[in-house]
Structure 1
Amino acid sequence: MAVTELDDTDFFNPWALAAIVYDSGVNVDLLMGQFAAELSAAGERIGGVVQLPPGPEGCGPRALMQVLDVGSNEVIRICQDLGPGASSCRLDPARLLAASLRVRMATLAAPDLVFVSRFGKQEASGGGLRDEIARAVMAGVPVLTAVKRSTVEAWMAFSGGRGTLLYPRLSVLHDWWQDGRRRRRLPPLAALAREPWQGLNA
């Protein structure tokens, strides 16, 4: 399923799609991982993947890009090992597909929340985990992802401006989640959130 944008509003609950907007220097991976761990400890049914923070060596053979399956706690490497002389990393399409399948399997299990590590350059250009975000939303499963500020325009085009943009702070994520408890029974075509930058001044 190739998705240009989420243009079918019949199914859409605006609370159920949220993106953490972050700038360079913000450890959004750690933030999402901590939130996932706290939800799991509280008994929430979660699935999907979050990216693990890189090690001090950066990306390369000693600190490969990896994601965590938050449902099984299994770590999945998503980049190629380019050898000891490598100064950068390259996404491995086969490994990225494996991560994509984890998100799809999580969606089919209809958890309380699906984590999708990023809506990044790959997703903005039509690849990566873009389709899995759409699958989850169209299945009525709440989705939380992260979007770098430079990619927000592409995210808005994909989402049609719907959903919620969140400040990168743990308290904001918890506020969004608690608010969602009151919104989960909203019918389709519910009114859009009036303050998309929920918690900006929290």
Structure 2
Amino acid sequence: MNIAYTMAPGRGDTDLLLHGLAEALIAGGHRPAGVVQINTERPCDGPCDMDVQVLPDGPVIRISQSLGAEARGCRLDPAALEQAVGLVEAQLATRPDCLIVNKFGKHEADGRGFRPLIAEALALEIPVIVGLNRMNEAAFASFTEGLAQPIAPEASALRAWLDPLLTERHAIV
């Protein structure tokens, strides 16, 4: 099972790391599928807007909803997330080089979101890289049966794990 995860310490750092990885893969001629998150600060209405870009060159979808400056609940727009999932699901049939999922979040911990696609990619022997936070670490470990490999939150570490798998995939094709 070729699945790895990374957890960067700062807010939004994992998003930036995975976005950079996706850009480097695309620039190198690879075909990643999945989503990377793009955060846009909002100076007057609380936390940032959260968008995901469907890889490799798909649309950008806003997955957050504005609940007002004083709101404290989850701002995720489940319908928008499922729209992104549907677009990525269609790409798995094209046998991409890898799957990048910006975050194994609450929806994935509850069995929704990208969780079924992660399992499908693994069944198709497509390498998977997932962003993770401490809050969902136990659910992710349970889902992967502890077989996911932790990767330091560094571009070089992610490439050191992924590049041999990409080479192997291209040798098979």
Offset of residue 151 of structure 1: 2.3
Q: Count matched residues.
A: 171
Larger radius of gyration: 1
Superposed displacement of residue 70, structure 1:
2.0
Q: Which runs of 4+ in 1 moved over 3 A?
A: 22-26, 56-60, 85-89, 181-185
1:37 aligns with 2:3: no
Displacement after TM superposition at 1:87 (Å):
4.6
Question: Aligned AA for 1:23?
Answer: P
Pick one of 110, 121, 126 that aligns with 1:136: 121
Structure 1 unpaired stretches of 5+ = 1-13, 186-202
TM-score where L is the length of structure 1 = 0.73
1:177 aligns with 2:162: yes
Q: 1:133 to 1:59 in 2, by over 3 A?
A: farther
Partner of 1:91: 76
- The runs of 5 or more residues in structure 2 that have no matched partner are none
Distance change >3 Å, CA 29–CA 146, structure 1 → 2:
same
- Contact map agreement 1:21 1:147 (CA 8 A) in 2: yes
For residue 48 of structure 1, what is the aligned residue in structure 2? Answer: 34
User: Which residue in 2 is equivalent to 1:110?
Assistant: 95
SS in 2 for 1:134: helix
Give percent identity, aligned residues only.
Answer: 34
The equivalent of 1:72 in structure 2 is 57
What is the letter of the counterpart of residue 56 of structure 2? Answer: G
Deviation of 1:136 after TM superposition, in Å, equals 1.4
Which has the larger share of helix? 2
SS at match of 1:133: helix
Alpha-carbon distance in 1 for matches of 2:27, 2:138: 34
**1:101 and 2:120 aligned:** no
For 2:126 and 2:105, how far apart are their aligned partners in 1?
21
Change (3 A) 1:153 1:172: same
